[in-house]
Amino acid sequence: MKALINLGIAVSTAILLSGCFGGSSSDSRSGSGSGVAASTDFTTFVKKEIANTRDDREAVNINSVKFSFNDRNNAQAYSDLFSQ
């Protein structure tokens, strides 16, 4: 019985502490100071990058970009990129 109580306390502590940490070591807050992470639509980002394919272009740093995947169920999301 004592082991079960200790297990319950350990699980409760783990659950409570998991809410204290964001799980990310980067600061990807929006510039407005709202404290909300800025999110970039992945489909829009990809289309913009494909449209800008100069040979002398610098690589895009995406390490701090937080993507949202809004077209996850849209089979036609990229169809305009491959039109004939």
Both tokens of residue 44? Answer: 């829009």
| Predicted pLDDT at 36 | 52
Q: 41 - beta bridge partners? A: 68
pLDDT tens per residue, the chain (84 residues)? 777 777 777 767 666 666 655 555 455 444 445 455 568 999 999 999 988 888 888 888 999 889 999 988 988 888 888 875
pLDDT at 23: 53
Report yes or no on whether pTM surpasses 0.75.
no
Three-state secondary structure call for residue 44: helix
CA distance 4 to 2: 5
* CB-CB neighbours of 3 under 10 Å: 7
Q: In whole angstroms, what is the distance from residue 73 CA to residue 84 CA?
A: 23
Residue 40's H or E segment, with its range, is strand 40-41
